[in-house]
Amino acid sequence: MNRPLTTLFMLMSVDGKISTGASDALDVDKDFPKIKGLKEGLFQYYEIEQTTDLWSFCTGRVQAKIGVNEKTLPQKTPVSFVILDNSHLTEHGIKYFCARSKEFVLLTSNKNHPAFNIKESNLHIFYQEKFSLQKSLEYLRENFACDRLTVQSGGTVNALFLREKLFDFVDVVVAPVLVGGKDTATLIDGKSLLSEEEISSLGVLKLIDCKLLKGSYIRLRYEVVR
């Protein structure tokens, strides 16, 4: 395979929501710890997260939402981060990931991205005038020997992975809550299918494992069927 094996790893509600609402002010990481019946078992998601791949993929929008543009610079971790971003990360946000990452790869189609102003030995910028997710994954494989990648992005980018058949596994922790709201982000958003010809891009899954966790949380692990 000329790209890394990918695993979609997310925390979601029973109705598939990955946020507590449609506003950027609302977020499961911020809100679930405040809710009785959810906060008690939430630690299990973060424990599982610590066991995921040493290469992690996310978006600048998601990271800006959780405050990396303002956070104090963190300690170095063994994880390498891949961030897709055109406009959400500031220079401080880029420095945050340089400080945190073993290797930090920025994927961008913005030739004026503030990352170009930063000189760090572990910062690698893959610029594409027209973004291609497939080419980005091939770049990771060819240049960094990245063989496994955990994806923790938003529903729109998750949809790109799905439609381009770039997911290999799905690993979700389901929180015992219903969120609702048609505009609230779900595990897979993006453009809806409109024709029979498009249904070949459906993500058909084979269950690998189902585990009941504490506090009525559930972990579901699937392999994507080709």
CATH number at residue 177: 3.40.430.10
Q: Is the pLDDT of residue 116 over 90?
A: yes
Q: Is the pLDDT of residue 102 over 90?
A: yes
Write the pLDDT tens digit of every residue in 84-99.
999 999 999 999 999 9
Number of structural domains the chain divides into: 1
Write the pLDDT tens digit of every residue in 198-224.
999 999 999 999 999 999 999 999 999
What's the whole-number average pLDDT of the chain? Answer: 97
Angle at 98 between CA 97 and CA 101, to 5 degrees: 75
Question: Tell me, what's the pLDDT at 118?
Answer: 97
In this prediction the pTM is 0.96
Q: Which range is least confidently modeled, 47-51, 56-60, 63-67, 174-178?
A: 63-67
Question: Tell me, what's the pLDDT at 226?
Answer: 82
Q: Is the pLDDT of residue 120 over 90?
A: yes
Question: Tell me, what's the pLDDT at 44?
Answer: 98
b/e map 136-174, b = 16+ CB within 10 Å: bbebbbeebebeebbbbbbbebbbbbbbeebbbbbbbbb
User: What does the pLDDT average to over 37-45?
Assistant: 98
Question: Tell me, what's the pLDDT at 138?
Answer: 98
- Smallest CA-to-CA distance from 83 within 93, 75, 73, 72 is with 93
Domain that holds residue 202: 5-224
